[in-house]
Chains A and B, each alone.
Chain A
Amino acid sequence: MLKLICAIIARDLRLAMRRRSDLVSALFFFIIVVSLFPLGVGPEPELLRKLAPGVLWVAALLATMLSLPRLFADDHRDGTLEQLALAPQPLGLIVLGKVLAHWLISGLPLALLAPLLGLQFDLPTDALLMLSVSLLIGTPALSGIGAIGAALTLGVRGGGVLLSLLVLPLYIPVLIFGAGAVDATLTGLGAQAHLSLLGALTLAGVFFAPWPTAAALRIALE
């Protein structure tokens, strides 16, 4: 079981490494969106510090969403997905592997990059650290929930816009607790509660999401 998941992760990572431009463009999308906000609202450090948690988290949501359509689309196009669905192993496990791989190539880089962008927003050190930690804990949930949307919109016309329509409302709890954790650190309240809830969302999301995703994939493959 673990071997299957590891094999899927290794395969997806290798594929992603062969096409690094996709990965890098999603990261640059994140950087550009975040950099647009100071240009739009003005450079006052006081205001920027207040906006930073929300802006960085929303940009992370959007960047994650941007890379979601590719989660299954390439495999669907070249027929790999049908082979995976025919495999004797449960499709849910394969989906779990793909979700984890997606997190490694989208969520993890975002979490590592975010503190650097937080500096532009004049965040203090403990808030920068918390930003990274909250993204590390929260982004797996984004990959998990997003996989459901990606599977539902697989091969559907106008899939990209539709995907955002389906997935973004479901992302709201993650956004609230993720940005809330950084905000609580900024105001000195302590982020323990937010982080616990974020962890719960991630565990529930990564654990349960593969089932509806697998069901949606089977529907798409019919």
Chain B
Amino acid sequence: MPGTSINWYRFASPQAFYPLAGRMIPWFWALAAVFGVAGLYLGFLVAPTDAQQGEGYRIIFLHVPASWMSMFIYLVMAFWAGLGLAFNFRLSAMMATALAPTGALFAFLSLWTGALWGKPMWGTWWVWDARLTSELILLFLYVGFIALQSAIDDPRRADKAGAILALVGVVNIPIIYFSVKWWNTLHQGSSVSLTKSPSMATTMLWGMLLCALACWMYAIAVALMRVRMIVLERERQTEWVREVLRGGESA
């Protein structure tokens, strides 16, 4: 409807955002479940067996979404952190803090499922290949971000210091990626690309995309839950948080 515009800045205040996030979380959980079930159904029951890799390839339905999410979440985290640094929004800095553990989890999952996949296909758990190494470094960057934030007691300073680190990391990721790529490579080329038609069966692709959506929705749901906890912790001296803690979510 023209003329009615939502004041988005209102939700930059933790007090307004807290109940909104509370209402959104069940939806994202539901979406994650629906996409997850559909993706796994397509992946395990419909998608054909791979000609070269047999049934073992089916770990792709967790491996690829986890890798995508680990990289994507870092970008989103850096975006929120930068926004928090530039405009001094408390909430976006909290968002960055809330996203970091989920991103680290996905980076770890990606490495772990990759190792499980590499053992039957390449005959080894780990190779010093460009993609594996840069994913490992991404995990290090997440760990550095979390460690820096938890070492600083003052939350405002922790937010800002973490934001600078996240932004420096974003600039460095392409450099690290290419340096590692020129150094050594074995990982198969990308199976999905925007410029050419995918080199895999359509059902496989759909299963993978659905699983990626499920991971995405899961990440949002978990990040929102975590950001709600951070809001409560940081705003515990305010009246509205006391009210929330006393009697349900009426705030």
Judge: A and B partners, yes or no: yes
A residues apposed to B, CB below 8 Å: 148, 152-153, 156-159, 162, 165-166, 168-170, 172-173, 176-177, 180, 197, 201, 208, 212, 215-216, 219-220, 222
Interface residue from A152, A158, A197 paired with B165 (Cβ < 8 Å) = A152
A residues in contact with B152, CB < 8 Å: 156
* Chain B residue, CB-CB nearest to A197: B179
Q: How many residues of B contact A (CB 8 A)?
A: 26
Residue B176 is within 8 A (CB to CB) of chain A in the complex: yes
Residue B87 is within 8 A (CB to CB) of chain A in the complex: no
Residue B137 is within 8 A (CB to CB) of chain A in the complex: yes
CA gap between A152 and B171 in the complex, in Å = 17
Whether the Cβ atoms of A216 and B183 lie closer than 8 Å is no
Residue B6 is within 8 A (CB to CB) of chain A in the complex: no
Query: Nearest chain A CB to B16's CB is how many angstroms away?
Result: 27
* Contacts known (A162-B151, A212-B168); A169 close to B161, Cβ less than 8 A: no
Which stretch from B111-119, B138-146, B200-208, B241-249 is at the chain A interface?
B138-146
Residue B167 is within 8 A (CB to CB) of chain A in the complex: yes
19 A-B pairs besides A156-B152, A176-B183 with CB distance below 8 A are A148-B164, A148-B168, A152-B148, A165-B140, A165-B143, A165-B147, A166-B165, A168-B140, A169-B141, A169-B144, A170-B168, A172-B137, A173-B172, A173-B176, A176-B179, A176-B182, A201-B175, A216-B161, A219-B164
Interface residue from B144, B176, B182 paired with A165 (Cβ < 8 Å) = B144
CA gap between A169 and B139 in the complex, in Å = 10
Residue B234 is within 8 A (CB to CB) of chain A in the complex: no
* Chain B residue, CB-CB nearest to A175: B179
CA gap between A157 and B151 in the complex, in Å = 6
Interface residue from A172, A176, A220 paired with B157 (Cβ < 8 Å) = A220
Bitwise, B156-171 to A at CB < 8 A (1) or not (0) is 1100110011011101
SS of B interface (majority)? helix
CA gap between A165 and B147 in the complex, in Å = 8
Whether the Cβ atoms of A180 and B183 lie closer than 8 Å is yes
Query: Nearest chain A CB to B97's CB is how many angstroms away?
Result: 15
Interface residue from A162, A169, A176, A215 paired with B164 (Cβ < 8 Å) = A215
* Contacts known (A212-B164, A219-B164, A220-B157); A173 close to B175, Cβ less than 8 A: yes
Whether the Cβ atoms of B151 and A166 lie closer than 8 Å is no
CA gap between A215 and B180 in the complex, in Å = 29
* Contacts known (A212-B167, A215-B164); A156 close to B179, Cβ less than 8 A: no
Whether the Cβ atoms of B179 and A219 lie closer than 8 Å is no
Interface residue from A169, A219, A220 paired with B137 (Cβ < 8 Å) = A169
A residues in contact with B180, CB < 8 Å: 172, 176
* Chain A residue, CB-CB nearest to B179: A173
A residues in contact with B161, CB < 8 Å: 152, 216, 219-220
Query: Nearest chain B CB to A175's CB is how many angstroms away?
Result: 9
B residues in contact with A168, CB < 8 Å: 140
Whether the Cβ atoms of B148 and A169 lie closer than 8 Å is no
Whether the Cβ atoms of A162 and B168 lie closer than 8 Å is no
A residues in contact with B176, CB < 8 Å: 169-170, 172-173
A residues in contact with B148, CB < 8 Å: 152-153, 156, 162, 165-166
B residues in contact with A157, CB < 8 Å: 151
24 A-B contact pairs sorted by A residue (CB < 8 Å)? A148-B168, A153-B148, A157-B151, A159-B151, A162-B147, A162-B148, A165-B140, A168-B140, A169-B144, A170-B168, A170-B169, A172-B137, A172-B179, A173-B172, A176-B180, A176-B183, A201-B175, A212-B164, A212-B167, A212-B168, A215-B164, A216-B164, A219-B157, A222-B156
